[in-house]
């Protein structure tokens, strides 16, 4: 049997870093097993779900390098859900309830006041058909609960290890609201059955849901998948990220200039027992992924670490690997020499535009050391230049002026780039000719 996992976002907002981690873990896990990855769009909340967010989520996943064998929307499956609901009614695993939210809240408060857990008391199970019809005749629409079997529910979690719940400590979950809209539980289980999902990997907030879902799978005579629950990312102070930080949406990180491979490396390394990887090949990333390396505690997300990783990955690229990126930036004349000059001084690839403008403009930068620059002009070798030219030139200047260190180099850097620091100037020389340099030196 072929393994299958799925990622099931709700299109109520942009895909954020925490949700993306869940997608990446699912993708890497199932790819490492030679299985299939399915994208399910949970869009049954018709008020909050938007097509534009669905498009953003799909585009962001594709940008990350995540592709799926199949995608579908829950809003297209309502007929299938209804058939299964009728089956659950026939076998009496779901039952109608008529308590109002206020009545349920009062029950919970009474239980808590008595020192009891706030578990639904199943009073609606005592109603006969006549009583149910009476409620409906009065215009009351029921909500429907799933009747849990009285037993211990346990599974061997792919991440958490052995997990168990005694159903006596759980409320019968509501599956259908008064307006006939469906809560998360039933559509999720039915879809996993329909798609033959073998492995469900999701956030640890779903652990209790999983206990409920296992019984729903069993009630529908379906095989129960393997489950894994990963902890959520937190900020550096240990607080949850959630969706509250728009700056940590995948779209915003992409727009800022992060490489997709940077995010894949980071999301598959953070919260594991290994160091953060700097792999440039996505195939190698998923082949090396091992779900057993995921920690049970919440990893702390650091934007600074992500930025440093992005910089280090860029530095590892050869010119041939970024040639298309130069074309995307409209820098058709960029060369290997320019990449060598710029790559150690960029945080994002788009930063190359800054250095391209620096060396290709005709701006003359102000100086307080014109006499020194005149001497440097007289000692400038003939072009063409290579990476050895800088040392030969500055050695002559040093002998002539008796300068060294900052006094020797800084006036030249300021004249050539207008900056106090930046790339090694030996890599700048091959990008310029004698006429350009003399003009910068005002000679």
Residues 165, 207, single domain; the answer is: no
Could you report how far apart the first and last alpha carbons of the chain are, in Å? 77
**Within a domain: residue 116?**
yes
Residues 299, 213, single domain; the answer is: yes
CATH code of the domain containing 224: 3.40.50.620
3-state secondary structure of 345: helix
Residues 23, 79, single domain; the answer is: yes
**Within a domain: residue 401?**
yes
Instruction: Please report where in the chains the tokens 């829950």 appear, as a residue.
Output: 74
Report which DSSP code applies to 192: H
Residues 213, 223, single domain; the answer is: yes
Residues 108, 160, single domain; the answer is: yes
CATH code of the domain containing 163: 3.90.800.10
Residues 143, 190, single domain; the answer is: no
For residue 330, give Cα distances in angstroms to 126, 276, 341, 347, 352: 73, 32, 18, 19, 11
Q: What share of the chain is helix, strand, coil (3-state, %, to 5)?
A: 50, 10, 35
Tens of pLDDT along 92-137? Answer: 999 999 988 898 889 889 888 888 888 999 999 988 888 888 888 8
* Res 443 pLDDT > 70: no
Query: pLDDT category, 60, cuts 50, 70, 90?
Result: very high
Number of domains, the chain = 3
**Within a domain: residue 352?**
no
Residues 192, 289, single domain; the answer is: yes
CA–CA gap between residue 36 and residue 131 (Å, rounded): 49
Are the beta carbons of 108 and 133 closer than 8 angstroms? no
Contacts of residue 105, Cβ cutoff 8 Å, sequence gap at least 6? none
Domain boundary residue, one of 141, 159, 176 = 176
Residues 308, 190, single domain; the answer is: yes
Are the beta carbons of 413 and 419 closer than 8 angstroms? yes
What pLDDT is stored for residue 204 in this prediction? Answer: 95
- Out of 109-123, 149-163, 260-274, least confident range: 109-123
What pLDDT is stored for residue 236 in this prediction? Answer: 82
CA–CA gap between residue 63 and residue 326 (Å, rounded): 18
Structure tokens at 145: 């609960």
**Within a domain: residue 150?**
yes
**Within a domain: residue 334?**
no
Residues 106, 46, single domain; the answer is: no
Residues 208, 281, single domain; the answer is: yes
Domain boundary residue, one of 156, 176, 196 = 176
Length of the chain: 443
Are the beta carbons of 252 and 280 closer than 8 angstroms? no
CA–CA gap between residue 383 and residue 195 (Å, rounded): 67
**Within a domain: residue 354?**
no
**Within a domain: residue 221?**
yes
Query: Structural domain of residue 71, as residue ranges?
Result: 1-93+183-316
* Average pLDDT value over all residues in the chain: 93
What percentage of the chain carries pLDDT values higher than 90?
Answer: 80
Residues 164, 215, single domain; the answer is: no
Query: pLDDT category, 73, cuts 50, 70, 90?
Result: very high
Domain boundary residue, one of 176, 202, 223 = 176
* Res 139 pLDDT > 90: no
Q: What order of strands is seen across the sheet that includes strand 4-7?
A: 70-73, 36-41, 4-7, 199-203, 226-230
Residues 104, 79, single domain; the answer is: no
Query: pLDDT category, 46, cuts 50, 70, 90?
Result: confident
For residue 394, give Cα distances in angstroms to 128, 341, 388: 98, 18, 10
Query: pLDDT category, 244, cuts 50, 70, 90?
Result: low
Instruction: Give the bridge partners for 224, in sequence order.
Output: none
What pLDDT is stored for residue 239 in this prediction? Answer: 79
CA–CA gap between residue 287 and residue 270 (Å, rounded): 17
What pLDDT is stored for residue 246 in this prediction? Answer: 61
Mean pLDDT value across residues 215-220? 98
**Is the full-model pTM beyond 0.85?**
yes
**Within a domain: residue 353?**
no
């Amino acid at each position: 049997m072929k393994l299958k996992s799925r990622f099931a976002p709700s299109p109520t907002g942009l895909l954020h870093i925490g949700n993306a981690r869940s997608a990446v873990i699912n993708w890497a896990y199932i790819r490492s097993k030679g299985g299939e990855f399915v994208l399910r769009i949970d869009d049954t909340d018709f008020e909050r779900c938007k097509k534009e967010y669905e498009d953003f989520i799909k585009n962001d996943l594709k940008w990350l390098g995540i592709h799926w064998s199949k995608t579908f929307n829950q809003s297209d499956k309502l007929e299938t859900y209804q058939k299964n609901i009728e089956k659950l009614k026939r076998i009496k695993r779901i039952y109608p309830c008529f308590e109002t939210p206020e009545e349920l809240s009062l029950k919970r408060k009474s239980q808590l006041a008595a020192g009891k857990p706030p578990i639904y008391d199943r009073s609606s199970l005592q109603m006969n058909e006549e009583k149910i019809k009476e409620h409906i005749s009065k215009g009351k629409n029921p909500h429907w609960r799933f009747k849990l079997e009285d037993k211990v529910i346990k599974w061997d979690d792919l991440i958490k290890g052995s997990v168990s719940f005694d159903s006596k400590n759980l409320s019968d979950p509501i599956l259908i609201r008064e307006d006939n809209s469906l809560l998360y539980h039933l559509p999720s289980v039915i879809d996993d059955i329909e798609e033959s999902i073998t492995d469900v990997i999701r956030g640890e907030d779903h652990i209790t849901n999983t206990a409920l879902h296992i019984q729903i799978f069993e009630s529908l005579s379906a095989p129960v998948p393997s489950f894994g629950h990963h902890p959520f990312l937190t900020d550096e102070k240990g607080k949850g990220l959630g969706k509250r930080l728009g700056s940590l949406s995948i779209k915003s990180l992409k727009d800022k200039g992060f490489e997709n491979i940077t995010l894949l490396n980071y999301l598959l390394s953070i919260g594991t027992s290994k160091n953060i990887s700097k792999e440039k090949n996505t195939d190698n990333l998923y082949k090396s992924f091992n779900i057993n390396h995921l920690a049970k505690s919440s990893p702390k997300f650091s934007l600074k670490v992500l930025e440093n990783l992005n910089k280090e990955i860029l530095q590892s690229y050869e010119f041939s690997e970024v040639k298309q990126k130069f074309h995307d930036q409209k820098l058709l004349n960029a060369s290997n020499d320019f990449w060598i000059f710029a790559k150690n001084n960029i945080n994002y690839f788009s930063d190359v535009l800054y250095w391209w403008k620096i060396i290709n403009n005709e701006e003359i930068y102000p100086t307080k050391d014109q006499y020194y620059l005149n001497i440097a002009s007289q000692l400038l070798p003939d072009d063409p230049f290579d990476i050895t030219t800088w040392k030969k030139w500055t050695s002559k200047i040093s002998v002539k002026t008796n300068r060294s260190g900052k006094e020797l180099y800084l006036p030249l850097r300021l004249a050539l780039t207008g900056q106090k620091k930046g790339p090694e100037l030996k890599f700048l020389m091959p990008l310029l000719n004698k006429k350009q340099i003399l003009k910068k030196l005002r000679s």
